[in-house]
Structure formats: structure tokens, C-alpha cells
Amino acid sequence: MRMIVNSITYKPQRASHYCLWKRLVGAIMSAPIASMGRCDVMRLMMNDLFDVSGKVALVTGGSRGIGEMIAEGFVANGVKTYISSRKAEACDATATRLSEQGECISIPADLSGSKGISVLVDEIKSREDQLDVLVNNAGATWGAEIEEFPETAWDKVMDINVKSPFFLTQALLGLLEKSACPEDPARIIMIGSVDGLNVNRLPTFSYGPSKAAVHHLTRTLASHLADRNINVNAIAPGPFPSKMMAHTLGTMGEQIRQGVPLKRIGKSEDMAGTAIYLASKASSYVTAAVIPVDGGLIGAAGTL
Ligand SMILES: NC(=O)c1ccc[n+]([C@@H]2O[C@H](COP(=O)([O-])OP(=O)(O)OC[C@H]3O[C@@H](n4cnc5c(N)ncnc54)[C@H](OP(=O)(O)O)[C@@H]3O)[C@@H](O)[C@H]2O)c1
């Protein structure tokens, strides 16, 4: 019994040992367990299902807001987590803060174009021989009345929200594939939005369409990567506190809160919990899903 517990609670220090470790745990769990109490078995199974420790992840836009919430959840649960954003000082400061709970490394880069994507990918490749989880979170929005909406803003939003996740994913496929196995596939988590599912009446004309594209890109990538053991899912957040949402929540916060069936704004643990689930063995059979994390905004708000 002690030997079984020790084997299962062992945490691989290197990501390359991860799949081997998962197979070993699987074999132990299917061995006769008559001598174990029922509660022991249940607890070990839950630990195994949601345990993400020993994995390696990259969270784009991890310096603040939703990316930081996800990165913090990963770091606190033993994931070696890389974060990236344009402003080096802010990215470094977040990595230093999160490193108090585990391992967080800052790699600043502007991901809106191929040059910045190469900087990030080259740096990751020089440090890791495989990647377990890629979170495509970095994003931007723009608001202007329809007559004044600039073409540059349209392109800026589409580039960072849609184009960059595709080309970053393309560049990291080799590393993801090295961690992928049927028992615990590699994961890509796309950050969409409820604005890609419902029409937002604010004049953010390129944002909603960009997020609808993110959801469809999620399904397209999932379809193409399923036979390479890479699962691709999206989180569609409702309102969460962040720099992007600061003005909207500052001016319409109470109205937004009242419109959410659960009557509150999202919290760090709401976002971290869903990301951990999507990175863990518990979601191995989930791919091409778009999961609203929105207090019921999409599914339960009704029309009256
Ligand atoms: N907050 C919400 O309520 C909400 C709701 C639905 C969806 N979302 C989505 O969640 C994601 C995160 O948004 P947020 O609310 O947390 O916004 P945020 O606070 O503005 O954070 C955006 C992050 O992306 C980074 N970033 C922006 N442009 C970048 C670029 N060109 N290259 C690299 N990094 C870049 C930012 O850092 P730098 O400025 O230093 O580059 C920052 O780390 C976005 O995809 C957003 O659309 C948010």
C-alpha cells in the first residue's frame, strides 16, 4: 500500500518523464487494490485526474488579467509556467511575484507579428524539449463609433486575437507533439469570449468577430490535431476584472453584474479552475469545446 501511494504521489521533475509516469500510475491503479480502503482509492484517483504538476505551460499575455489568473493557478499547482507579453518590466514583475509559489519564467515578446513570435518560440525551444500546455490568451480590443472605426484598429485586433494564436500554435506544434500521448494529450487552450457567442452592443466592431473566429479556429485546429494527440479547447470568459475591462466595469459594472445570472463578476479561481481542468487528465476526452465561464450569461440569462 505504501509503495503504491509513493509511486502515485511522485511528481516527475522533467516533463519528458510525464507520459511514462502517467502509464506507470495507470498500471498501478488497474492492479488489485483489495487491501486499500475505498476512500484511499477515491482520493488517489481524484489527485491523478486533476494533477497538473510536472507539466510545462506557456501562457501568452500572462503578465496581467486573465492570463495572470491562469498562470497563477498553474504555478500554484506545480506547473513550470512561461509567461509572455510586450512590456518586459511588467512581465518580469509578474513572473517574480508568481515564482514565490513555484516556477514562473518571463519571456517578453510582441506577438502581433512573426518577428515577435519567433523570439518567443526560439527562447522556449532553447529551454525546453517539449511543451504540455499552450494557452493562447493575449488579446486586445478597440472601441470607436462606426463612422470613425479605423482600419489600423481592425487589423490590430484581428492580428493579435486570431492570426497570432494560429501562427504561434504552428511554430510550437513540434514541442507539443513531443509531450502528446493518448492517455494525456498535449493541450491548447484558446481564450475566446462571450462576445464571440452573443452580440455585444458596445461599438467594438472587430472584437466580437475576432472572438467568433477564435472559437471556430479552436474547432478547426481540434479537428486537424486530434490524430496527433493534441486537444484544442476554448474558454469563453464573461466579465472578469482586467485592464481591458477596467473602463467598462468602471462605468457599467453594476448593470453588467445584474445581467449575469450568478450576479457577480468572475474571480481568479473561476478562470484558474477551468484552465487547470482543461490542462489535466480529467479533460483528456474533451476537444473542440468552447466553454463559457460567465456566470450563466450565455446559457441562462434569457431574453426578458
Ligand atoms: N476580461 C474580460 O472580461 C474578458 C472577457 C472575455 C474575453 N477576454 C479575453 O481574455 C484575454 C485576456 O484579456 P484581459 O481582459 O486579461 O486583458 P488585459 O488585462 O488587457 O491583458 C492582455 C494581456 O495580453 C498582452 N498583450 C496584448 N497585446 C499583446 C501583443 N501584441 N503581444 C504580446 N502580448 C500582448 C498584455 O500585455 P502587454 O500590454 O504588456 O503586451 C496583457 O498581458 C483576451 O484574449 C481577451 O479578449 C477577457
Residue range 30-56, pLDDT digits in tens? 444 444 444 445 555 767 899 999 999
Nearest residue (by CA) to ligand 1, atom 7, is: 193
Query: Does 116 share its domain with 213?
Result: yes
What is the rounded distance in angstroms from the CA atom of residue 81 to the CA atom of residue 71?
Answer: 7
Ligand 1 binding pocket mutation candidate from 63, 64, 66, 72 (most atoms within 8 A of CB): 66
What is the rounded distance in angstroms from the CA atom of residue 53 to the CA atom of residue 66?
Answer: 21
In the block, cell 474571480 appears at 267
Ligand 1 binding pocket mutation candidate from 58, 59, 60, 64 (most atoms within 8 A of CB): 64
Nearest residue (by CA) to ligand 1, atom 2, is: 240
If you average pLDDT over residues 197-207, what whole number do you get?
A: 96
pLDDT tens profile 86-135: 999 999 999 999 999 999 999 999 999 999 999 999 999 999 999 999 99
Alpha carbon distances (Å) from 8 to 11, 15, 48, 298? 8, 16, 8, 39
Closest to 265 (Cα-Cα) out of 15, 89, 69: 69
- Give 231: exposed, middle or buried? Use CB within 10 Å, 0-12, 13-18, 19+: buried
Query: Does 110 share its domain with 244?
Result: yes
Phi-psi region of 36 (alpha: psi -120 to 50; beta: other; left: phi over 0): beta
- Tally of structural domains, the chain: 2
Residue 161 CA to ligand 1 center (angstroms) comes to 9
Nearest residue (by CA) to ligand 1, atom 25, is: 61
Query: Does 155 share its domain with 204?
Result: yes
Query: Does 125 share its domain with 198?
Result: yes
If you average pLDDT over residues 274-281, what whole number do you get?
A: 98
Q: Catalytic residue, from 10, 207, 277, 285: name it.
A: 207
pLDDT tens profile 169-196: 999 999 999 999 999 999 999 999 999 9
Strand ranges (E), 170-275: 186-191, 230-237
Query: Does 144 share its domain with 163?
Result: yes
Q: Is 180 helix (H, G, I), strand (E, B) or coil?
A: coil
Q: Which domain does 23 fall in, by range?
A: 2-10+18-47
Query: Does 113 share its domain with 197?
Result: yes
Query: Does 228 share its domain with 282?
Result: yes
pTM score of the predicted model: 0.90
Q: Give ligand 1 pocket residues (Cβ under 6 A).
A: 61, 63-67, 85-87, 90, 110-112, 137-140, 160, 191, 193, 237, 239-240, 242-245
The grid cell for 56 is 510545462
Residue 65 CA to ligand 1 center (angstroms) comes to 7
Instruction: Report CA Rg, the chain.
Output: 20
Query: Does 152 share its domain with 201?
Result: yes
**CATH number, position 136:** 3.40.50.720
